Structure 1
Amino acid sequence: MNFSPLDNPIWNSLNSEHRSLATLHGSAGRFSPDVSPLVGMLDGTETAFDDLAFVLSDGTRGATFTAYPITVPAGWESQQRVINQMVCTEVTEFRTDGVGPLGEADVPDMLELAATTEPGPFGSETISFGRYYGIRTDDGRLAAMAGERLALDRFVEISAVCTRAEFRGRGYASSLVSLIAAGILDVGKVPFLHVKTENEARIVYEKIGFSVRKPMHVTAVNKI
């Protein structure tokens, strides 16, 4: 399989499965801030940054990740780091303990959980990306969640994987990610995700069937 679309997944998502959520201008694009602060560019040229300045004309900050480092031109503030991209072609460990679907009515609880656990950007309309699942306690608290984010022609990203501190170590992340990954594979697509290089969650994902594909360069920018 050709995995090269994952070298620039945000741009390719903006121009394919998530075109309806995109604002595009030339060689740059973004999602609505309520959906995600992620932005994409065709490449890292100054022309692409000029187009990005147009789509970020409201002064908001954007972030992208690519398989190659981006040189940020003058006139921009930036922060850069490296994360790992992982892919899964077969789920080797499958659990569904206590997992249930999440919908619009669950968004307040999802926002509170994301604010508490900080899995990455999560806004009031992030659920528009795709299917989300959670695990609730007996008293109804949302203890853990995960869902789909970027969608390309042949790939779907798993994101927002998070568990409250007091419920970690119970296999909740494994149950959520394995269920979502299996669902993606069932429709003929390949699940992928991104994890910080120092995050021990990588071991959990490897047990499910994910493997590191390559390092990805995260570039967060705002126009000065």
Structure 2
Amino acid sequence: MTSPIDSPLDRSAWTSLVGPQAHLGHGNALARRYHPEVAPFAGLVEESPAAFEALRALLGPDDRVMVPTLAPVADIDGLQARLLGQVHQMVALHPGSGRAAQLQATPLDASDVPDALALVARTRPGPFGPRTLEMGDYVGIRDQGLLVAMAGERMRFDGHAEISAVCVDDAWRGRGLAAGLVNLLRARIEARGETAFLHVLSDNANAIALYERLGFRHRRTLFLHQIALATV
């Protein structure tokens, strides 16, 4: 079951949780997970029976964690693994199109959590919890006080930062807000000497096309699993 890694990007959750985001999770020498209110993700040092056993020790009866892997997972003692889908990991390698300078984006903080959660409920960009904003810099766009678009940095480790939670309210789509926010975050990440990356479901052709226009390129396909304790 063990899969070789070519880069820390192959284990982005693990690399983040043993690095700058260690305070946002807990675990052991083989498996770590984010606190549930931060993110539902867990990371493994390797895809081995011992690592999955270590993950099992971190789960309660009602816990569900999401684990990106390099290969499909099956037959894990004591665990149930459900494949949620394949994910494109994309890395910013080329100059892209779009403008960020004209956006009226403002930083989001703890006071913005209710509005951010409401926007996520309307747009469903992916996992987002009441403490997700603690993972990195998040920015939003408001119209007459209503939060209509946002994006931010999720997993982070040495030399890399993930762009995530890119979402725009349906009524404000078609105005280039998503592209502008991605460009804004990418510019900030690159100004720190880091590389921006992101994850998108492999069947989301529209989002993939947008990110390709913005200079992101497919690096690797991952398999996203939901893992829980096996039921008797």
TM-score by length of 2: 0.90
CA deviations 1:19-61 (Å, max 9, x no partner) are 1212022301101001011001112222112211111136310
Identify the residue that residue 83 of structure 1 maps to in structure 2: 87
CA distance in 2, matches of 1:89, 1:183: 15
Which blocks of at least 5 consecutive residues in structure 2 are unaligned? none
Give the partner amino acid of 2:7: S
Matches within 5 A, 1:32-51: 32-51=35-54
Give the partner amino acid of 1:166: A
Q: From the superposition, tell whether residues 127 and 208 of structure 1 become closer, same or farther in structure 2 (CA, over 3 Å).
A: same
Which blocks of at least 5 consecutive residues in structure 1 are unaligned? none
TM-score by length of 1: 0.93
Secondary structure at the aligned position of 1:220 is classed as: strand
Give how far 1:128 is off. 0.6
Identify the residue that residue 95 of structure 1 maps to in structure 2: 99
CA deviations 1:160-209 (Å, max 9, x no partner) are 11111121111110010000011101101100000111211111111211
Q: From the superposition, tell whether residues 3 and 110 of structure 1 become closer, same or farther in structure 2 (CA, over 3 Å).
A: farther
Percent same amino acid among aligned pairs? 38
- Given that 1:91 and 1:178 are in contact with CA atoms closer than 8 Å, whether structure 2 keeps it comes out as no
CA deviations 1:50-89 (Å, max 9, x no partner) are 2111111363100111333333413322221211010003
Identify the residue that residue 228 of structure 2 maps to in structure 1: 222
Give how far 1:3 is off. 6.5
| 1:151 has 2:156 as partner | yes
Aligned length: 222
2:9 to 6, 10, 14: 6
Identify the residue that residue 25 of structure 1 maps to in structure 2: 28
- Given that 1:25 and 1:54 are in contact with CA atoms closer than 8 Å, whether structure 2 keeps it comes out as no
Give the superposed CA RMSD: 1.6
Identify the residue that residue 111 of structure 1 maps to in structure 2: 117
